[in-house]
Structure 1
């Protein structure tokens, strides 16, 4: 049993802070949120979105009506791309500051929400810029209130204190984690996610799987993170094929969204290690690489590397994906092969070479994993020593 790998003398910090309105039709709760914001004296919002999903899903129509009814002014920044950049954050922050925004509303997946968290910091520190945040030139202790309307079931960022934004000229993709950027309110409405195409449905769900595999196996893991990991993987294994086959299956979307949310809370508590630390250089170098796909490519090799150190926990939480694991440390190869099969059965057959990487890139990627701000901290959370040789081996086994 995985419980034997928990140190009961270690004091765990358990986090679950954001108020999340969850369920079909939850978008209507924006009306109550708008009332609460108005009662707090908030008068103007900056709305942070991507190009069109806020329109196509119908989310903006509901949000706009709620803001209008409460007399809340708004300005919209709709230029956030996948793997958002510090330049986008700065542009959005300047627009928000010029408008006099005192709250931030994000509508979208992880990219708009993470960009919005960053803008919220800059509203509280107008003399700073996004590079200051992501090069860790200061430590934010405050931010404007954040409302996150989530449009994907993968990142969990609507319920945690993390954000990721890229610095293009350095090919850095750092992560931040501050208490001040927990959303005040979040909306998780599976009815807003029925338009996600099959490939994105796969990739965002793979992201959630990676969150919990890492959170359950860091050196600071705790029973809360591990329990959430097991539930996350069980639900994704059961409902992901249904959502891929029938994108409008609300029951499948509901439980995938629930899995994603609790996965976000899991890694908010247990943190992350190899897979995210190694994926960020991949999409830092190639911004068009979908984050969840990069994680999926790396996952089997990471599990192979860490399995001997966390065999009982991994055997337990991976049981739906890789049946027959007993928790013996010598099963690393079986776990690796089982995860490769699960991904292939889902239709994820890509390797790093398919995304344009070659053996010549391994040294650069390894260096980025250690020099990108924040990633060395993630590597320090790994259950086995995160040497450059280990990192390079994981990349090499993913080619």
Structure 2
């Protein structure tokens, strides 16, 4: 049985492809063209959003500054973005950007700097608001400063879509936003900038991409585009992730993992997300040091078990490269759960929620956060099975 049987042909789909992306070894050299385009739009100062090290160690920063200098564009460096960025970082950066006269944002890094940069770009246009206003959905932005995304990982897909995530630490909230105004104007996916990713991070970001398509292909809003991109994503990650783990400098492997991440980001931009992301955000909201991709991996098998009865046709095709021989029948739910868990172990992920510091007494708090964190209700509503508290509790419990 093919995945087409899992598509509701009466569901009118909106197919979205919102960013202009340069992809390939050496794509960072397109920064000269991008700087020229910014200058032509009247941009004479930018703020660069990044973490503490990778922007320099990859060589990206040297190319960026050379291009900006050539086109007489001043730049402000904000290199305080952490994994799972927080609202106060965004507010600090907005203050610096406005005081310095920045008119655009260049984000250099993985999902965290790109998402933080998207948030700064919005708030530069709404100086009377702060980041908590934005992520508690107190207003709906319709404009943002131009965004340039230079991607240094192959997992989040944020360089290709309209999503962003920032944590509100005081409330353990990790909301997600999605607005058309934060599609990057230009993005760069250069696999040569990704060869320094550590083994663990290489795996975690790739598993993030796999989660994106498992969810994007199985929401109640899925469509053939999201599913087709999903099938290709899983095939590419299954083939090239072991190669990148074995040889981090394998540019072919990094290229196709980067491409997989890109199309996965586009897949969920069209199909949206559901359980895995909605339930992971409380995990790293409570424990900001938990890597997002690891949190997703821990709960993924339990999520697949829950949704397989409603999404078996699609998942049988989608997961064939890592769990072969599936038919889509609901009776395979435990087989699929175990198969996905075995694949995760094969790429080096065998942790449980207990291994990363959670205990049974934490479950109710996590369930509460899944239902009260702003924005996660939309993800839960997109799940292929009803997202009751009992279902959410069971996923967390099974992941302990």
After superposition, where does 1:140-289 map in structure 2 within 5 Å?
A: 140-289=141-290
The superposition leaves residues 49-77 of structure 1 with CA deviations (integer Å, 9 ceiling, x where unpaired) of: 00010000000000000000000011010
The superposition leaves residues 223-252 of structure 1 with CA deviations (integer Å, 9 ceiling, x where unpaired) of: 000000000000000000000010000000
Q: Does 1:38 align with 2:9?
A: no
What residue in structure 2 maps to residue 360 of structure 1?
361
What residue in structure 2 maps to residue 93 of structure 1?
94
How far is 1:48 from its partner? 0.4
Out of 33-42 and 231-240, give the one that drifted further.
33-42
CA distance in 2, matches of 1:294, 1:300: 12
Q: Does 1:377 align with 2:387?
A: no
CA distance in 2, matches of 1:326, 1:209: 20
Unmatched 5+ stretches in structure 2: none
What residue in structure 2 maps to residue 66 of structure 1?
67
What residue in structure 2 maps to residue 312 of structure 1?
313
SS at 1:353 equivalent: coil
CA distance in 2, matches of 1:61, 1:394: 45
What's the TM-score, normalizing by structure 2? Answer: 0.99
The superposition leaves residues 14-67 of structure 1 with CA deviations (integer Å, 9 ceiling, x where unpaired) of: 001100000000000000000111111111100000001000000000000000
SS at 1:224 equivalent: helix
CA distance in 2, matches of 1:59, 1:382: 39
SS at 1:199 equivalent: helix
How far is 1:216 from its partner? 0.3
How far is 1:268 from its partner? 0.1
CA distance in 2, matches of 1:238, 1:42: 42
Which 4+ stretches in 1 moved above 2 angstroms?
none
SS at 1:95 equivalent: helix
How far is 1:364 from its partner? 0.4
CA distance in 2, matches of 1:372, 1:5: 30
What residue in structure 2 maps to residue 103 of structure 1?
104
SS at 1:262 equivalent: helix
What residue in structure 1 maps to residue 13 of structure 2?
12
SS at 1:163 equivalent: strand
What residue in structure 1 maps to residue 389 of structure 2?
388
Aligned length: 399
CA distance in 2, matches of 1:114, 1:226: 25
CA distance in 2, matches of 1:258, 1:77: 28
How far is 1:9 from its partner? 1.5
SS at 2:21 equivalent: strand
The superposition leaves residues 277-309 of structure 1 with CA deviations (integer Å, 9 ceiling, x where unpaired) of: 000000000000000000000100000000000
CA distance in 2, matches of 1:166, 1:17: 25
SS at 2:76 equivalent: strand
